[in-house]
Structure 1
Amino acid sequence: MKTNTAIFVALLCLSQITTALRIGSFNIQGFGHKKLKDKFVFPILIKIIKRYDIILLQEIRDHTQTLLPDLMKKINSHSTLKYKYVISDIVGRSTYKEQYAFVYRTKEHISVISNYTYNDGNEDNDNDLFSREPFVVLFDIPCTQFKQVAMVGVHIAPEEAVEEIKLLEKVRNSVSRKLRTSNIILMGDMNADCDFFPDSKWQEIPMRMSQNYLWPICDDTDTTVKSTHCAYDRFIVGGRTLRKEYLPGYAKAYRFDEAFDLTDKQYLFLSAADDVVSVVNFLQSAVSSGGIHCNLFGSLPKDAQGSSEIGDEIPNVGRQVLD
Protein backbone atom coordinates (compact mmCIF):
# COMPACT_ATOMS: atom_id res chain seq x y z
CA MET A 1 0.00 0.00 0.00
CA LYS A 2 1.33 3.40 -0.94
CA THR A 3 1.96 6.01 1.72
CA ASN A 4 0.45 9.27 0.56
CA THR A 5 3.00 11.94 -0.12
CA ALA A 6 3.36 15.66 -0.29
CA ILE A 7 5.81 17.87 -2.04
CA PHE A 8 6.72 21.51 -2.01
CA VAL A 9 8.47 23.30 -4.83
CA ALA A 10 9.67 26.88 -4.66
CA LEU A 11 9.49 28.76 -7.94
CA LEU A 12 11.00 32.14 -7.39
CA CYS A 13 10.17 35.29 -9.32
CA LEU A 14 11.97 38.58 -9.16
CA SER A 15 10.86 42.10 -9.91
CA GLN A 16 13.23 45.00 -10.38
CA ILE A 17 13.38 45.28 -6.60
CA THR A 18 14.28 41.57 -6.36
CA THR A 19 11.24 40.29 -4.55
CA ALA A 20 10.67 36.56 -4.83
CA LEU A 21 7.80 34.12 -4.96
CA ARG A 22 7.52 30.59 -3.56
CA ILE A 23 5.05 28.13 -5.06
CA GLY A 24 4.35 24.75 -3.47
CA SER A 25 2.20 21.64 -3.50
CA PHE A 26 1.12 19.71 -0.43
CA ASN A 27 -0.83 16.45 -0.18
CA ILE A 28 -2.03 16.58 3.44
CA GLN A 29 -3.52 13.07 3.27
CA GLY A 30 -7.21 13.14 4.18
CA PHE A 31 -7.32 16.79 5.24
CA GLY A 32 -10.48 17.47 7.20
CA HIS A 33 -11.67 19.26 10.31
CA LYS A 34 -10.11 16.63 12.57
CA LYS A 35 -6.61 17.58 11.46
CA LEU A 36 -7.36 21.29 11.44
CA LYS A 37 -8.59 21.13 15.04
CA ASP A 38 -5.72 18.96 16.25
CA LYS A 39 -3.56 20.98 18.67
CA PHE A 40 -0.40 19.37 17.34
CA VAL A 41 -1.17 19.52 13.61
CA PHE A 42 -2.60 23.03 13.40
CA PRO A 43 0.47 25.11 14.34
CA ILE A 44 2.82 23.09 12.14
CA LEU A 45 0.40 23.10 9.21
CA ILE A 46 0.11 26.87 9.45
CA LYS A 47 3.90 27.28 9.49
CA ILE A 48 4.26 25.07 6.43
CA ILE A 49 1.62 26.94 4.45
CA LYS A 50 3.14 30.27 5.37
CA ARG A 51 6.44 29.28 3.80
CA TYR A 52 4.82 29.84 0.40
CA ASP A 53 3.14 32.59 -1.55
CA ILE A 54 1.02 30.09 -3.49
CA ILE A 55 0.46 26.52 -2.34
CA LEU A 56 -1.66 23.73 -3.76
CA LEU A 57 -3.42 21.62 -1.12
CA GLN A 58 -4.56 18.11 -2.08
CA GLU A 59 -6.84 15.49 -0.55
CA ILE A 60 -9.21 17.96 1.06
CA ARG A 61 -12.06 15.95 2.58
CA ASP A 62 -14.90 18.20 3.72
CA HIS A 63 -18.56 17.67 2.85
CA THR A 64 -19.54 20.80 4.80
CA GLN A 65 -17.39 23.08 2.62
CA THR A 66 -16.33 25.01 5.71
CA LEU A 67 -12.77 23.67 6.07
CA LEU A 68 -11.03 26.23 3.86
CA PRO A 69 -12.91 29.23 5.31
CA ASP A 70 -11.95 27.98 8.79
CA LEU A 71 -8.34 27.50 7.67
CA MET A 72 -8.20 31.04 6.30
CA LYS A 73 -9.55 32.43 9.57
CA LYS A 74 -6.89 30.59 11.53
CA ILE A 75 -4.04 31.60 9.22
CA ASN A 76 -5.06 35.23 8.93
CA SER A 77 -5.69 35.62 12.64
CA HIS A 78 -2.19 34.36 13.47
CA SER A 79 -0.20 36.43 11.00
CA THR A 80 0.20 39.82 9.40
CA LEU A 81 0.47 37.94 6.10
CA LYS A 82 -3.01 37.56 4.66
CA TYR A 83 -4.16 34.67 2.48
CA LYS A 84 -7.07 33.82 0.21
CA TYR A 85 -8.01 30.58 -1.50
CA VAL A 86 -9.70 29.12 -4.55
CA ILE A 87 -11.13 25.60 -4.39
CA SER A 88 -12.10 22.99 -6.98
CA ASP A 89 -15.24 20.99 -7.43
CA ILE A 90 -15.43 17.70 -5.54
CA VAL A 91 -13.64 15.08 -7.66
CA GLY A 92 -13.20 11.32 -7.57
CA ARG A 93 -14.80 8.28 -9.20
CA SER A 94 -15.15 6.17 -6.07
CA THR A 95 -16.80 6.92 -2.75
CA TYR A 96 -13.51 8.55 -1.72
CA LYS A 97 -14.02 12.13 -2.84
CA GLU A 98 -11.62 15.02 -2.46
CA GLN A 99 -10.89 18.59 -3.56
CA TYR A 100 -7.91 20.70 -4.51
CA ALA A 101 -7.35 24.24 -3.29
CA PHE A 102 -4.77 26.90 -4.05
CA VAL A 103 -4.01 29.10 -1.07
CA TYR A 104 -2.24 32.33 -1.98
CA ARG A 105 -0.79 35.33 -0.21
CA THR A 106 -2.31 38.71 -1.03
CA LYS A 107 0.63 40.89 -0.03
CA GLU A 108 2.35 40.44 -3.39
CA HIS A 109 -0.90 41.46 -5.16
CA ILE A 110 -1.36 37.92 -6.44
CA SER A 111 -4.88 37.36 -7.72
CA VAL A 112 -6.95 34.71 -9.46
CA ILE A 113 -8.09 35.59 -12.96
CA SER A 114 -10.09 32.41 -13.58
CA ASN A 115 -10.36 28.81 -12.46
CA TYR A 116 -12.13 25.62 -13.46
CA THR A 117 -12.12 21.88 -12.94
CA TYR A 118 -10.96 20.15 -16.11
CA ASN A 119 -13.81 18.42 -17.97
CA ASP A 120 -12.48 14.95 -18.79
CA GLY A 121 -15.70 13.27 -19.92
CA ASN A 122 -18.78 11.59 -18.49
CA GLU A 123 -17.97 9.76 -15.28
CA ASP A 124 -21.39 8.09 -15.15
CA ASN A 125 -20.69 6.30 -18.43
CA ASP A 126 -17.14 5.35 -17.44
CA ASN A 127 -15.99 7.62 -20.24
CA ASP A 128 -13.80 9.99 -18.23
CA LEU A 129 -10.00 10.20 -18.42
CA PHE A 130 -8.93 10.79 -14.83
CA SER A 131 -9.88 9.28 -11.52
CA ARG A 132 -9.59 12.80 -10.12
CA GLU A 133 -10.01 15.61 -12.61
CA PRO A 134 -7.22 18.27 -12.65
CA PHE A 135 -7.90 21.72 -11.23
CA VAL A 136 -6.83 24.72 -13.32
CA VAL A 137 -6.17 28.23 -12.00
CA LEU A 138 -4.89 31.22 -13.97
CA PHE A 139 -2.96 33.54 -11.67
CA ASP A 140 -2.00 37.16 -12.15
CA ILE A 141 1.43 37.61 -10.53
CA PRO A 142 2.67 41.18 -11.05
CA CYS A 143 6.23 40.45 -9.90
CA THR A 144 6.89 38.27 -12.94
CA GLN A 145 7.82 39.49 -16.40
CA PHE A 146 5.19 37.24 -17.97
CA LYS A 147 2.53 38.48 -15.49
CA GLN A 148 0.27 35.45 -15.78
CA VAL A 149 0.80 31.73 -15.22
CA ALA A 150 -1.62 28.80 -15.25
CA MET A 151 -1.20 26.21 -12.51
CA VAL A 152 -2.78 22.79 -12.82
CA GLY A 153 -3.20 20.71 -9.69
CA VAL A 154 -3.27 16.96 -10.25
CA HIS A 155 -3.59 13.88 -8.03
CA ILE A 156 -2.88 10.88 -10.25
CA ALA A 157 -4.48 7.54 -9.38
CA PRO A 158 -1.67 5.12 -8.45
CA GLU A 159 -3.17 2.14 -10.25
CA GLU A 160 -3.55 4.23 -13.44
CA ALA A 161 -0.41 6.35 -13.15
CA VAL A 162 1.08 5.51 -16.55
CA GLU A 163 -2.09 6.16 -18.52
CA GLU A 164 -3.07 9.31 -16.63
CA ILE A 165 0.41 10.85 -16.90
CA LYS A 166 0.31 10.19 -20.64
CA LEU A 167 -2.87 12.26 -20.76
CA LEU A 168 -1.37 15.29 -19.01
CA GLU A 169 -0.17 16.72 -22.33
CA LYS A 170 -3.78 16.71 -23.52
CA VAL A 171 -4.69 18.67 -20.39
CA ARG A 172 -1.81 21.08 -20.97
CA ASN A 173 -2.82 21.71 -24.59
CA SER A 174 -6.43 22.29 -23.60
CA VAL A 175 -5.42 24.74 -20.89
CA SER A 176 -3.12 26.58 -23.30
CA ARG A 177 -5.91 27.01 -25.85
CA LYS A 178 -8.54 27.99 -23.33
CA LEU A 179 -6.42 30.45 -21.33
CA ARG A 180 -4.19 31.58 -24.21
CA THR A 181 -0.92 31.04 -22.42
CA SER A 182 2.00 28.66 -22.77
CA ASN A 183 3.27 29.38 -19.27
CA ILE A 184 1.81 26.39 -17.47
CA ILE A 185 2.92 24.41 -14.42
CA LEU A 186 1.38 20.99 -13.75
CA MET A 187 1.99 19.98 -10.16
CA GLY A 188 1.01 17.47 -7.52
CA ASP A 189 1.11 13.87 -6.39
CA MET A 190 1.57 11.97 -9.65
CA ASN A 191 2.61 8.58 -8.24
CA ALA A 192 5.33 8.74 -10.89
CA ASP A 193 7.79 6.17 -9.57
CA CYS A 194 8.42 2.74 -8.07
CA ASP A 195 5.72 0.07 -8.46
CA PHE A 196 3.18 2.50 -9.90
CA PHE A 197 5.49 3.83 -12.60
CA PRO A 198 8.46 1.67 -13.71
CA ASP A 199 11.41 3.50 -15.30
CA SER A 200 10.80 1.68 -18.57
CA LYS A 201 7.51 3.55 -18.98
CA TRP A 202 9.07 7.02 -19.29
CA GLN A 203 9.68 6.52 -23.01
CA GLU A 204 5.90 6.29 -23.42
CA ILE A 205 5.35 9.77 -21.96
CA PRO A 206 5.48 12.45 -24.71
CA MET A 207 5.91 15.31 -22.22
CA ARG A 208 8.92 13.61 -20.65
CA MET A 209 10.62 12.96 -24.00
CA SER A 210 9.95 16.47 -25.33
CA GLN A 211 12.35 19.39 -24.88
CA ASN A 212 9.32 21.65 -24.49
CA TYR A 213 8.91 20.65 -20.84
CA LEU A 214 11.06 20.63 -17.72
CA TRP A 215 10.70 18.08 -14.93
CA PRO A 216 12.56 19.78 -12.05
CA ILE A 217 12.19 16.88 -9.61
CA CYS A 218 14.90 14.31 -10.27
CA ASP A 219 13.89 10.67 -10.57
CA ASP A 220 16.06 9.74 -7.59
CA THR A 221 14.47 12.32 -5.29
CA ASP A 222 12.63 10.72 -2.38
CA THR A 223 9.30 12.41 -1.73
CA THR A 224 8.07 9.69 0.63
CA VAL A 225 8.71 8.55 4.18
CA LYS A 226 9.19 5.22 5.96
CA SER A 227 11.31 2.70 4.05
CA THR A 228 10.20 3.80 0.59
CA HIS A 229 12.37 5.86 -1.74
CA CYS A 230 10.15 7.09 -4.57
CA ALA A 231 9.75 10.32 -6.52
CA TYR A 232 5.96 10.18 -6.57
CA ASP A 233 5.47 13.93 -6.60
CA ARG A 234 6.36 15.96 -9.68
CA PHE A 235 6.24 19.35 -11.33
CA ILE A 236 6.10 19.82 -15.10
CA VAL A 237 7.08 23.28 -16.35
CA GLY A 238 6.00 24.35 -19.82
CA GLY A 239 6.36 27.56 -21.78
CA ARG A 240 9.51 29.09 -23.23
CA THR A 241 9.72 31.82 -20.61
CA LEU A 242 9.41 29.47 -17.67
CA ARG A 243 11.86 26.98 -19.14
CA LYS A 244 14.46 29.68 -19.71
CA GLU A 245 14.11 31.01 -16.20
CA TYR A 246 14.55 27.70 -14.44
CA LEU A 247 17.83 27.34 -12.53
CA PRO A 248 18.76 23.63 -12.55
CA GLY A 249 20.18 21.84 -9.58
CA TYR A 250 18.10 23.27 -6.74
CA ALA A 251 15.48 20.55 -6.40
CA LYS A 252 15.84 18.74 -3.09
CA ALA A 253 13.90 17.35 -0.17
CA TYR A 254 12.98 19.60 2.73
CA ARG A 255 12.47 17.38 5.75
CA PHE A 256 9.99 19.23 7.89
CA ASP A 257 10.09 16.35 10.36
CA GLU A 258 13.62 17.51 11.18
CA ALA A 259 12.81 21.19 10.86
CA PHE A 260 10.05 20.87 13.44
CA ASP A 261 11.68 18.05 15.44
CA LEU A 262 8.79 15.62 14.90
CA THR A 263 8.57 12.00 15.97
CA ASP A 264 7.82 9.40 13.28
CA LYS A 265 4.25 9.09 14.55
CA GLN A 266 3.70 12.85 14.44
CA TYR A 267 5.27 13.15 11.01
CA LEU A 268 3.09 10.43 9.51
CA PHE A 269 -0.06 11.83 11.07
CA LEU A 270 0.60 15.27 9.66
CA SER A 271 1.08 14.28 6.02
CA ALA A 272 3.66 11.56 5.44
CA ALA A 273 5.71 13.78 3.20
CA ASP A 274 8.89 15.62 2.32
CA ASP A 275 9.36 19.11 0.92
CA VAL A 276 11.24 19.53 -2.36
CA VAL A 277 12.68 22.87 -3.44
CA SER A 278 13.68 24.09 -6.91
CA VAL A 279 14.52 27.51 -8.25
CA VAL A 280 13.34 29.63 -11.15
CA ASN A 281 14.91 32.98 -11.96
CA PHE A 282 12.37 35.19 -13.69
CA LEU A 283 14.85 37.94 -14.61
CA GLN A 284 17.03 35.76 -16.77
CA SER A 285 15.58 36.42 -20.19
CA ALA A 286 18.46 38.62 -21.40
CA VAL A 287 21.28 36.50 -19.97
CA SER A 288 22.47 32.97 -20.69
CA SER A 289 21.27 30.34 -18.25
CA GLY A 290 24.77 29.60 -16.97
CA GLY A 291 25.70 33.19 -16.25
CA ILE A 292 23.11 34.49 -13.82
CA HIS A 293 21.63 33.70 -10.46
CA CYS A 294 18.82 35.39 -8.65
CA ASN A 295 18.25 37.04 -5.33
CA LEU A 296 15.89 34.56 -3.72
CA PHE A 297 13.12 34.60 -1.22
CA GLY A 298 15.37 35.74 1.62
CA SER A 299 14.47 34.98 5.22
CA LEU A 300 11.14 33.33 5.93
CA PRO A 301 8.61 34.87 8.29
CA LYS A 302 9.67 33.96 11.83
CA ASP A 303 6.41 32.16 12.48
CA ALA A 304 6.98 29.98 9.39
CA GLN A 305 10.35 28.68 10.52
CA GLY A 306 11.07 25.40 12.26
CA SER A 307 13.82 24.55 14.67
CA SER A 308 16.17 24.27 11.69
CA GLU A 309 16.12 25.69 8.20
CA ILE A 310 16.89 22.48 6.33
CA GLY A 311 15.92 23.05 2.73
CA ASP A 312 16.34 26.82 2.86
CA GLU A 313 19.92 26.72 1.62
CA ILE A 314 19.16 28.46 -1.67
CA PRO A 315 21.80 30.78 -3.16
CA ASN A 316 21.56 34.34 -1.90
CA VAL A 317 23.22 36.59 -4.45
CA GLY A 318 22.69 40.16 -5.40
CA ARG A 319 20.44 41.96 -7.78
CA GLN A 320 21.21 41.51 -11.46
CA VAL A 321 21.41 44.28 -14.03
CA LEU A 322 20.19 43.10 -17.41
CA ASP A 323 21.28 44.40 -20.77
Structure 2
Amino acid sequence: MCGLVAPLLILLVGGTEAFRICAFNAHRLTLAKVTKDSVMDTLVQILARCDIMVLQEVVDSSQNTVPFLLQKLKRSDKTKILNFYQYNDTDDIFAREPFVAQFTLPSKVLPSVVLVPLHTTPKDVEKELNALYHVFLDVSQRWQNENVILLGDFNADCASLSKKRLNSLLLRTNAGFHWVIPDGEDTTVRASTNCTYDRIVMHGQGCQRLLKAAATFDFPKRFQLTEEEALRISDHYPVEVELSQATQGIPPQCLAILLLSLLQSQLD
Protein backbone atom coordinates (compact mmCIF):
# COMPACT_ATOMS: atom_id res chain seq x y z
CA MET A 1 0.00 0.00 0.00
CA CYS A 2 1.42 3.38 -0.99
CA GLY A 3 -1.05 5.55 0.89
CA LEU A 4 -3.43 5.80 3.81
CA VAL A 5 -7.08 4.99 3.18
CA ALA A 6 -9.50 6.88 5.42
CA PRO A 7 -13.19 5.93 4.94
CA LEU A 8 -15.85 8.44 5.99
CA LEU A 9 -19.56 7.54 5.99
CA ILE A 10 -21.74 10.64 5.83
CA LEU A 11 -25.52 10.87 5.44
CA LEU A 12 -27.10 13.89 3.83
CA VAL A 13 -30.52 15.11 2.74
CA GLY A 14 -31.28 14.80 -0.97
CA GLY A 15 -34.37 15.01 -3.10
CA THR A 16 -34.14 13.29 -6.47
CA GLU A 17 -36.90 11.29 -8.15
CA ALA A 18 -34.53 8.40 -8.88
CA PHE A 19 -31.86 7.13 -6.52
CA ARG A 20 -28.53 8.39 -7.88
CA ILE A 21 -25.19 6.77 -7.04
CA CYS A 22 -22.06 8.65 -8.12
CA ALA A 23 -18.28 8.42 -8.05
CA PHE A 24 -16.06 11.47 -8.38
CA ASN A 25 -12.29 11.87 -8.43
CA ALA A 26 -12.13 15.39 -7.03
CA HIS A 27 -8.40 15.73 -7.86
CA ARG A 28 -6.37 16.50 -4.75
CA LEU A 29 -9.24 17.82 -2.68
CA THR A 30 -7.75 19.81 0.18
CA LEU A 31 -9.22 22.18 2.75
CA ALA A 32 -7.49 25.08 1.02
CA LYS A 33 -9.14 24.06 -2.22
CA VAL A 34 -12.69 23.65 -0.92
CA THR A 35 -12.64 26.93 1.00
CA LYS A 36 -12.30 28.85 -2.25
CA ASP A 37 -15.76 30.16 -3.11
CA SER A 38 -15.40 29.38 -6.82
CA VAL A 39 -14.66 25.74 -6.00
CA MET A 40 -16.93 25.21 -3.01
CA ASP A 41 -20.15 26.45 -4.60
CA THR A 42 -19.85 24.19 -7.64
CA LEU A 43 -18.52 21.23 -5.66
CA VAL A 44 -21.46 21.39 -3.25
CA GLN A 45 -23.88 21.42 -6.19
CA ILE A 46 -22.13 18.38 -7.69
CA LEU A 47 -22.26 16.44 -4.41
CA ALA A 48 -25.80 17.46 -3.46
CA ARG A 49 -27.36 16.10 -6.65
CA CYS A 50 -26.25 12.55 -5.71
CA ASP A 51 -27.87 10.33 -3.11
CA ILE A 52 -24.70 8.27 -2.66
CA MET A 53 -21.35 9.77 -3.53
CA VAL A 54 -17.98 8.04 -3.59
CA LEU A 55 -15.57 10.95 -3.31
CA GLN A 56 -11.96 10.14 -4.17
CA GLU A 57 -8.62 11.94 -3.79
CA VAL A 58 -9.44 13.78 -0.58
CA VAL A 59 -5.99 14.78 0.65
CA ASP A 60 -6.20 16.16 4.16
CA SER A 61 -4.03 15.17 7.12
CA SER A 62 -6.08 17.52 9.33
CA GLN A 63 -9.30 15.68 8.37
CA ASN A 64 -11.19 18.98 8.23
CA THR A 65 -12.14 18.98 4.55
CA VAL A 66 -15.10 16.62 4.77
CA PRO A 67 -16.57 18.21 7.94
CA PHE A 68 -16.36 21.56 6.15
CA LEU A 69 -18.30 20.13 3.21
CA LEU A 70 -20.85 18.64 5.61
CA GLN A 71 -21.62 22.07 6.99
CA LYS A 72 -22.49 23.19 3.48
CA LEU A 73 -24.44 20.05 2.59
CA LYS A 74 -26.63 19.82 5.73
CA ARG A 75 -26.37 16.20 6.78
CA SER A 76 -29.15 13.86 7.93
CA ASP A 77 -28.89 10.52 9.75
CA LYS A 78 -32.03 8.79 8.49
CA THR A 79 -30.55 6.08 6.25
CA LYS A 80 -28.95 3.05 7.83
CA ILE A 81 -25.48 1.85 6.93
CA LEU A 82 -25.64 -1.90 7.44
CA ASN A 83 -22.00 -3.01 7.30
CA PHE A 84 -18.57 -1.83 6.24
CA TYR A 85 -14.99 -3.05 6.23
CA GLN A 86 -11.65 -2.45 4.58
CA TYR A 87 -10.52 -5.32 2.37
CA ASN A 88 -7.61 -7.28 3.80
CA ASP A 89 -5.02 -6.99 1.05
CA THR A 90 -2.67 -9.69 2.31
CA ASP A 91 -0.73 -9.80 -0.98
CA ASP A 92 -0.29 -6.01 -1.07
CA ILE A 93 -1.79 -5.73 -4.55
CA PHE A 94 -3.76 -2.53 -4.11
CA ALA A 95 -2.19 0.90 -3.77
CA ARG A 96 -5.39 1.85 -1.93
CA GLU A 97 -7.25 -1.08 -0.40
CA PRO A 98 -11.00 -0.96 -1.21
CA PHE A 99 -13.24 0.19 1.61
CA VAL A 100 -16.50 -1.73 1.23
CA ALA A 101 -19.92 -0.57 2.50
CA GLN A 102 -23.40 -2.08 2.50
CA PHE A 103 -26.43 0.13 3.07
CA THR A 104 -30.19 0.19 2.71
CA LEU A 105 -32.00 1.47 -0.37
CA PRO A 106 -35.60 2.75 -0.53
CA SER A 107 -36.64 -0.16 -2.75
CA LYS A 108 -38.76 -3.28 -2.31
CA VAL A 109 -36.92 -4.88 -5.22
CA LEU A 110 -33.47 -4.12 -3.81
CA PRO A 111 -33.51 -3.36 -0.05
CA SER A 112 -29.71 -3.26 0.22
CA VAL A 113 -26.69 -2.85 -2.01
CA VAL A 114 -22.92 -3.08 -1.61
CA LEU A 115 -20.48 -0.45 -2.90
CA VAL A 116 -16.87 -1.36 -3.65
CA PRO A 117 -14.91 1.80 -4.55
CA LEU A 118 -11.46 1.62 -6.10
CA HIS A 119 -8.93 4.19 -7.27
CA THR A 120 -6.20 2.30 -9.11
CA THR A 121 -2.64 3.42 -9.61
CA PRO A 122 -1.87 3.76 -13.36
CA LYS A 123 1.17 1.47 -13.37
CA ASP A 124 -0.80 -1.47 -11.89
CA VAL A 125 -4.26 -1.01 -13.40
CA GLU A 126 -4.60 -4.53 -14.83
CA LYS A 127 -3.35 -6.22 -11.66
CA GLU A 128 -5.59 -4.17 -9.39
CA LEU A 129 -8.71 -4.59 -11.52
CA ASN A 130 -8.23 -8.35 -11.65
CA ALA A 131 -7.80 -8.32 -7.87
CA LEU A 132 -11.06 -6.36 -7.65
CA TYR A 133 -12.85 -9.50 -8.84
CA HIS A 134 -11.60 -11.29 -5.73
CA VAL A 135 -12.84 -8.40 -3.58
CA PHE A 136 -16.26 -8.98 -5.14
CA LEU A 137 -16.09 -12.68 -4.24
CA ASP A 138 -15.05 -11.82 -0.69
CA VAL A 139 -17.85 -9.33 -0.05
CA SER A 140 -20.60 -11.33 -1.78
CA GLN A 141 -19.74 -14.39 0.31
CA ARG A 142 -19.28 -12.43 3.54
CA TRP A 143 -22.66 -10.69 3.32
CA GLN A 144 -24.49 -13.15 1.06
CA ASN A 145 -25.29 -10.32 -1.31
CA GLU A 146 -24.50 -10.39 -5.02
CA ASN A 147 -25.98 -6.96 -5.67
CA VAL A 148 -22.66 -5.16 -5.80
CA ILE A 149 -21.58 -1.93 -7.50
CA LEU A 150 -17.86 -1.48 -8.23
CA LEU A 151 -16.99 2.10 -9.00
CA GLY A 152 -14.39 4.82 -9.06
CA ASP A 153 -11.38 6.04 -11.00
CA PHE A 154 -10.20 2.74 -12.49
CA ASN A 155 -7.75 4.43 -14.93
CA ALA A 156 -9.24 1.87 -17.31
CA ASP A 157 -8.36 3.36 -20.68
CA CYS A 158 -5.78 5.10 -22.88
CA ALA A 159 -2.12 4.58 -21.94
CA SER A 160 -3.01 2.91 -18.63
CA LEU A 161 -4.99 0.01 -20.12
CA SER A 162 -5.25 -1.07 -23.75
CA LYS A 163 -8.54 -2.34 -25.18
CA LYS A 164 -7.11 -5.86 -25.48
CA ARG A 165 -6.03 -5.94 -21.83
CA LEU A 166 -9.33 -4.37 -20.77
CA ASN A 167 -11.32 -7.11 -22.48
CA SER A 168 -9.23 -9.84 -20.83
CA LEU A 169 -10.03 -8.67 -17.28
CA LEU A 170 -11.82 -11.10 -14.97
CA LEU A 171 -14.54 -8.49 -14.54
CA ARG A 172 -15.06 -8.69 -18.32
CA THR A 173 -14.71 -12.41 -18.96
CA ASN A 174 -16.88 -13.60 -16.05
CA ALA A 175 -20.63 -13.44 -16.56
CA GLY A 176 -22.85 -11.11 -14.58
CA PHE A 177 -20.76 -7.93 -14.58
CA HIS A 178 -22.21 -4.99 -16.49
CA TRP A 179 -19.92 -2.06 -17.32
CA VAL A 180 -22.60 0.59 -17.48
CA ILE A 181 -20.27 3.49 -18.35
CA PRO A 182 -19.51 2.48 -21.95
CA ASP A 183 -16.05 2.28 -23.48
CA GLY A 184 -15.38 5.48 -25.37
CA GLU A 185 -17.28 7.70 -22.90
CA ASP A 186 -14.95 10.57 -22.07
CA THR A 187 -14.72 11.02 -18.29
CA THR A 188 -12.03 13.71 -18.43
CA VAL A 189 -12.48 17.48 -18.36
CA ARG A 190 -9.57 18.49 -20.58
CA ALA A 191 -10.41 18.96 -24.25
CA SER A 192 -7.01 17.46 -25.09
CA THR A 193 -7.91 14.06 -23.54
CA ASN A 194 -10.59 11.52 -24.35
CA CYS A 195 -10.37 8.60 -21.91
CA THR A 196 -12.85 6.43 -20.03
CA TYR A 197 -10.92 6.35 -16.78
CA ASP A 198 -13.89 6.42 -14.40
CA ARG A 199 -16.19 3.41 -14.35
CA ILE A 200 -19.24 1.85 -12.74
CA VAL A 201 -19.63 -1.94 -12.88
CA MET A 202 -22.87 -3.47 -11.62
CA HIS A 203 -23.52 -7.06 -10.58
CA GLY A 204 -26.78 -8.69 -9.50
CA GLN A 205 -30.30 -9.01 -10.88
CA GLY A 206 -31.67 -6.50 -8.39
CA CYS A 207 -29.27 -3.82 -9.61
CA GLN A 208 -30.12 -4.54 -13.21
CA ARG A 209 -33.87 -4.43 -12.62
CA LEU A 210 -33.65 -1.00 -11.03
CA LEU A 211 -31.16 0.56 -13.47
CA LYS A 212 -32.67 3.56 -15.24
CA ALA A 213 -29.61 5.33 -16.63
CA ALA A 214 -25.83 5.56 -16.44
CA ALA A 215 -23.73 8.50 -17.60
CA THR A 216 -21.00 11.01 -16.89
CA PHE A 217 -22.01 14.34 -15.41
CA ASP A 218 -20.57 17.14 -17.53
CA PHE A 219 -20.42 19.73 -14.77
CA PRO A 220 -18.56 22.37 -16.85
CA LYS A 221 -21.41 22.34 -19.36
CA ARG A 222 -24.13 22.25 -16.69
CA PHE A 223 -22.65 25.15 -14.73
CA GLN A 224 -21.31 27.03 -17.78
CA LEU A 225 -17.67 26.89 -16.75
CA THR A 226 -14.65 27.41 -18.94
CA GLU A 227 -12.11 24.58 -19.00
CA GLU A 228 -9.81 26.61 -16.77
CA GLU A 229 -12.60 27.17 -14.23
CA ALA A 230 -13.61 23.51 -14.30
CA LEU A 231 -10.05 22.31 -13.75
CA ARG A 232 -9.94 24.22 -10.47
CA ILE A 233 -12.49 21.66 -9.27
CA SER A 234 -11.28 18.50 -11.02
CA ASP A 235 -9.89 17.07 -14.23
CA HIS A 236 -12.50 14.26 -14.04
CA TYR A 237 -16.25 14.21 -14.56
CA PRO A 238 -18.35 12.38 -11.98
CA VAL A 239 -19.89 9.12 -13.22
CA GLU A 240 -23.31 8.03 -12.03
CA VAL A 241 -26.13 5.51 -12.18
CA GLU A 242 -29.80 6.18 -11.53
CA LEU A 243 -31.90 3.46 -9.90
CA SER A 244 -35.69 3.36 -9.84
CA GLN A 245 -36.92 4.29 -6.40
CA ALA A 246 -39.74 2.37 -4.70
CA THR A 247 -40.26 3.42 -1.10
CA GLN A 248 -39.85 0.93 1.70
CA GLY A 249 -40.40 2.77 4.96
CA ILE A 250 -37.91 5.55 4.15
CA PRO A 251 -39.39 9.01 3.47
CA PRO A 252 -38.62 10.07 -0.13
CA GLN A 253 -36.92 13.26 1.04
CA CYS A 254 -34.57 11.38 3.39
CA LEU A 255 -31.94 10.26 0.92
CA ALA A 256 -28.35 9.45 1.70
CA ILE A 257 -24.99 10.57 0.40
CA LEU A 258 -22.11 8.31 1.26
CA LEU A 259 -18.74 10.01 1.01
CA LEU A 260 -15.91 7.49 0.96
CA SER A 261 -12.91 9.76 1.02
CA LEU A 262 -9.67 8.12 0.02
CA LEU A 263 -6.77 9.89 1.71
CA GLN A 264 -3.42 8.93 0.29
CA SER A 265 0.13 10.17 0.31
CA GLN A 266 0.79 9.20 -3.31
CA LEU A 267 -1.59 10.47 -5.96
CA ASP A 268 -1.72 10.04 -9.71
**In which range does the TM-score fall when normalised by the shorter chain?**
0.7 to 0.9
Structure 2 distance, partners of 1:244, 1:36, is 37
Structure 2 distance, partners of 1:119, 1:174, is 10
Structure 2 distance, partners of 1:19, 1:259, is 19
* Structure 1 residue ranges without an equivalent (≥5): 1-17, 77-81, 84-105, 122-126, 284-296, 298-323
Structure 2 counterpart of 1:145, from 109, 118, 136? 109
Structure 2 counterpart of 1:30, from 25, 28, 39? 28
Residue in 1 that maps onto 2:193: 228
Structure 2 distance, partners of 1:63, 1:232, is 26
Structure 1 counterpart of 2:86, from 98, 112, 117? 117
Letter in 1 for 2:201: I
Residue in 1 that maps onto 2:42: 44
User: How far did residue 19 of structure 1 move?
Assistant: 4.9
Structure with more contact order per residue of length (Cα contacts < 8 Å, sep ≥ 6)? 2
CA contact 1:110–1:142 (8 Å) conserved in 2 = no
Letter in 2 for 1:60: V
Residue in 2 that maps onto 1:213: 177
Figure out how many residues of one structure are paired with residues of the other and give that number. Answer: 231
Residue deviations 1:190-228 (CA, integer Å, cap 9, x gap): 000011000011342122122311110110100012211
Alignment of 1:84-123 (within 5 A): 106=77, 109-121=78-90
User: How far did residue 146 of structure 1 move?
Assistant: 2.1
RMSD over equivalenced CA pairs, Å: 2.0
Residue in 2 that maps onto 1:63: 61
CA contact 1:254–1:274 (8 Å) conserved in 2 = yes
Are 2:173 and 1:175 equivalent residues in the alignment?
no
Percent sequence identity over aligned pairs: 32
CA contact 1:21–1:53 (8 Å) conserved in 2 = yes
* Structure 2 residue ranges without an equivalent (≥5): 1-15, 247-251, 253-268
Structure 1 distance, partners of 2:63, 2:239, is 29
Are 2:261 and 1:263 equivalent residues in the alignment?
no
Structure 2 distance, partners of 1:258, 1:188, is 22
Q: Give the secondary structure class of the aligned counterpart of 2:19.
A: coil
* TM-score normalised according to structure 1 size: 0.67
Structure 1 distance, partners of 2:67, 2:237, is 26
Structure 2 distance, partners of 1:69, 1:152, is 23
Higher-Rg structure is: 1
Letter in 2 for 1:272: D
